[in-house]
Amino acid sequence: MEVEGRQGHFQEIEAQALAVAVFKDEKADDGLLKELDAASGGVVKSVIEAEEFKGKEGEMAFLHLAASEANKPRRLLLVGAGERSDSGPAQVPKFAGAAARFVRDKNVKSVALLPRFEVDPETVAASAVEGALMGLFEIDKYRTVEKEQRVLDRLIVVVPGASQEALERGVKRGRIIGEAVNYTRDLANEPGAYMTPTIMAERAQDIAREFKLGIDVLDEARMKQEGMGSLLSVSQGSDQPGKLIVLKYTPPTPTKNDAQLLALVGKGVTFDSGGISLKPGENMELMKYDMTGGATVMGVMRAIAQLEPPIPVIGVVPCVENLPSGKATKPGDVVRAMTGKTIEIINTDAEGRLILADAIAYAKKLGATKIIDLATLTGAVSIALGDVNAAVLGTDQDLIDEIIGAGQEVGEKFWQLPLDKEYSKQIKSDIADIKNVGGRKAGTITAAAFLKEFADGVSWAHLDIAGTAWADEAKPHRSKGPTGIAVRTLLNIVQRAVR
């Protein structure tokens, strides 16, 4: 899709449709809406005064404008933007995604977006482009019938009076981020047969080649040499060998921050049956997306390589299949992690924390001073927070606050859960150092308490995205399926780093 930013008047834009953000209870008597009303022959004022369109978030009104030289866009889409007091960068992607999905469904080939949010031009351009790209993503990759065939060929973000240079920077950044989110969603949507640990490692190698990242892929022999018994205990039940992917970004220009190393660690369970502690059959097909944390890290690293922030970053993705077999780890087994800590396996379906433990330890060995791990880790987080907020826990309050703030700026919500030392008592084992589950109480917190055992000595935060990584229903601005949660937040954290 061709994407560009323009600073002119909407009637100067060559596009089949114009999509305009309209705030709740906004009147059609002045400003831009008055111009649009004139162009529509009074229809805009009519639909607003009749309360057919109230400007509620996600509400739409699609109008045809009179054919004339003055009206170059012949179709007008009013997109509800909600309360003006809520106007900010987080609302822009929703507006753009809803507009792009709607006009594509009407077989429109080119659309101009007029966001009208109180955001600086570069940010509004970036947010609009990323939102539109995210809105156009569909999960019908393997359909042969009833597949979405309509395509939006051209997208123009219109910000009157803006600097053209700022718009171009924003459009470029927005495209990189939007494509990174959709890359992550595409990985998460792949069936387990098409996204094994080996294939995931190959996709990481493709990213490294295309975007000039460093890469190292540890096979099971090397992981055994490193003492990663916790990770290997999960992969041993599958015929598919486990992999540990390390993607490395080094800034093109050395900075004072080179002594600091941020590591992003993502759970990559390419299919999770639960192992010997077998999951119920209902909805097990969704366990193909249990590698969303790892997919997110790969998507973020893909974007980082193009955005070239001033800080070094590594992405660490432990990849396994969790399947039952005669070789599989059994409840009651004891395994030894890379750090030497022994773990009693109580439930083989609590496998994500086992692979993350060794991945976090390995990130520390590589020199990481700050670690953010993310995973579809616990069902308990959905009970606690539903599909609205992802959970964040950790040992560095400044880092936690940074994650929450960065998420708010892009429209991704994170809610901090406590991690008091008392919770660690629930994972004490009678026969080993710790056990991999702490009972029914506070399941999300005790999972984080387990990971905390391996994150000592560094600034660390954990994101449990199990409740937000997959959408069961479509929304006006996005399809159902994988959401790409946390890609934009993590990129925002990296981009806010100061030289």
Residues designated as active site: 279, 353
| Structural contact between residues 224 and 338, judged by C-beta atoms closer than 8 angstroms | no
Strand arrangement, sheet containing 334-336: 334-336, 342-344, 434-435
DSSP code, position 428: B
**Burial (0-12, 13-18, 19+ Cβ within 10 Å), 214:** exposed
Neighbours of 85 (CB within 10 A): 8
List, in order, residues 6 or more apart from 411 with CB less than 8 Å away.
89, 90, 91, 93, 94, 488
Separation of alpha carbons 494 and 60, rounded Å:
35
What are the E-state strand segments in 334-480? 334-336, 342-344, 370-375, 390-394, 414-416, 434-435, 459-464, 470-471
DSSP code, position 50: T
List, in order, residues 6 or more apart from 456 with CB less than 8 Å away.
none
Return phi, psi of residue 328, to 5°. -70, 150
Separation of alpha carbons 16 and 447, rounded Å:
52
Tokens in use for 84? Answer: 């003006």
| Structural contact between residues 39 and 55, judged by C-beta atoms closer than 8 angstroms | no
Separation of alpha carbons 156 and 13, rounded Å:
8
